[in-house]
Structures are given as structure tokens and as C-alpha cells.
Amino acid sequence: MKLAVWDPDEPFRRWRDALAQHAGELRLAVEVVDAAAEPDEQADFALVWRPPAEWLAGQQRLRAVFNLGAGVDAVLPLMRAHAPQVPLIRLEDAGMGRQMADYVAEAVLHAHRRMDDYAALQAHATWEPLVLAPRTGFGVGFLGLGHMGLAAARRVQALDFPVLACTRSGTPRAGTDFDGPIYGIDRLYEFLGHCRVLVVLLPLTPETRGLLDYGALSHLPRGAHVVNAGRGALLHEQDLLDLLEQQHLGGATLDVFEHEPLPAGHPLWSQPRVRITPHVAAHTLVGPSAAQIMRKIAALERGDHPGGIVDARLGY
């Protein structure tokens, strides 16, 4: 079988070598082609990150498309337009959960230990111990409890902060070891009212786009910290800035933005209580991802349904 890889972020040979290794272990005969170099090669399976529409449209015999990331918002519209019958399969953790847990844990501790306040005091050479909020009242809320949200929530739980979550349905997925209350999205404002730190890890869909606007964000308690490591368009950047300037919000740690790279001169760059990282919270790891994708291909070959098949109706 032929596998085509389209990944502008990674040298092709890294994918080729890792896929060949795992195919060998599973006794699958595969040929891996570089879709950017050989766009006319027809593949059975495609592994893609932001592929061009015309390349996808030209692929006639695809049996499945694997998204080389957790979020499928960039590729799903292309699939709908050019390959509506082909299953789209996303990565399930594949080493990203631990990275996300690290990113979120750092932000929670940063907020709890009032590091932005100390940075402001340091700027004026001021030695002033600040009061620490009791941990028991310092709720950390997870908006979205998929693979990324759950990995991060587990870590924050292990740091002894009270956790809560808000998801579309408000019910835990089977087998989920999440220890806090879970609100349905219809109770979003009530949920936000309990979040001293809000961690945004929702998929971007027509329902979630722009969900965190001024009205929603102003339900966060005074001084709350916002962490967005999901997608930029979930949150209104100007509304966040307004609430920071009005000192309703205490700070933000942002990894994703409505427009990436974040344009030079964007007011977020110069807001001292905003920390910016360039979409690096959880990077796709070639080794674990190739292993997972080859296992899923083996399952498809056996006629099984692997995990991570995107529900096009829900958009994730």
C-alpha cells in the first residue's frame, strides 16, 4: 500500500523512516511518498498537516486521511469539499498530552504564585511579599476535556488544585478519571464563575468559534488567568485585552491566535500581563505518531474501526 505524507513542518525522511520501521514491526508492506515532491502519486492513505486543496482533490483512491495533529479544523473543510466519503482520523494524544500537561501546569503555578504581580514589583525594584490564595479555593477549569484537556487536568489535579470542566454534553467520557464537577456547555457562565484559571482546550467548530467573548469572559472571577492552548478563534482577543485593561482579568497565557503568526504590532504583544508562545504547547512527535498511525492502518486493514475517527457533523 502507498502512504503519502504532506507535512510542511517536518523533513519528509523523518516520517518515511518512522513509518517504515513501524510498518515492518506490524509486517505491513508500505511505500511512503513525499506528497510535496510527487503530488501526482495516488496513495491509499494520506498523512497531512494543512495540505493544499488541489492536492487532496487530485487523490482518487484514498481509504483514510490521518491528520498530523489533534485539531482538525484546518483540514475538515477540505475533506468536506474534496473527499467527503473518506474517513478523517486525528491523532489521539501520541505524546502531545504530556507536553500539554507541562504547558498548563506551568501556567497554573505561574498564576497561583502571582508571578505577573512579582514581575511588576521587580520592574520598580520593590520587595513586597504578596498574599497567596488558598489552594482549596483556587479552581482550575478546563473548557474541553478531550485527550489534551484530560491530560492537563490530570496533572493539575496531581498538583492538588481543585479542578472542574465544561464540555458539550456535560458527561464524562467512558473510563475518564476526572475528579471534579463537569458542566454542560449550556451552563458555561456558571462554570466560568468558579475558574480562577480557565484552560481553553476545545476543538474549533462553528459552535465554539468566538465562544469566549466579553460577556462570557466577564463571568470569570476578578483576577482570573486565561490559558488558551486550543485555537485562537475560540476567544475574542480584543475582549480579552479590554478585560485585562479594566483589571477584571489578572493575566493570560496564550499559545494560539486568531492570526498566526501573531502580527507584529498586535496589542497582545505589548500587554505586560499576557505571555505569548508561538503555537508550541504540544508539538506532533514523529515517532509516537507514526506508531499510532501504523497501528490504525493495521486495524483498518483488518476491517476494524480505529479510534479518533472524526465525526464530521460535530467537527472533531
The C-alpha cell that represents 36 in the structure block: 510535496
Active-site residue, from 112, 231, 236, 275: 231
Residues whose CB falls within 8 Å of the CB of residue 109, separated by 6 or more in sequence, listed in order: 159
Distances (CA, A) of 114 to 120, 242, 243: 10, 21, 18
Please state the closest distance from residue 267 (CB atom) to ligand GLV, in A: 23
Catalytic residue among 50, 168, 279, 295: 279
- Alpha carbon 261 to its chain centroid, in Å, reads 16
The residue ranges that bind ligand GLV (CB under 6 A) are 69-71, 284
Three-class SS state of 146: coil
- Comparison of 197 and 201: residue with beta carbon closer to ligand GLV: 201
- Residue 231 annotated in active site: yes
Sequence-ordered strand ranges (E) for the chain:
2-6, 31-34, 45-48, 64-67, 88-90, 140-143, 163-167, 182-184, 197-200, 224-228, 249-254, 274-276
Q: Rounded to whole angstroms, what are the CA distances from 124 to 120, 250, 266?
A: 7, 19, 26
State how far the Cα of 122 lies from the Cα of 142, in Å rounded to an integer: 31
Which residues are catalytic, by number? 231, 279
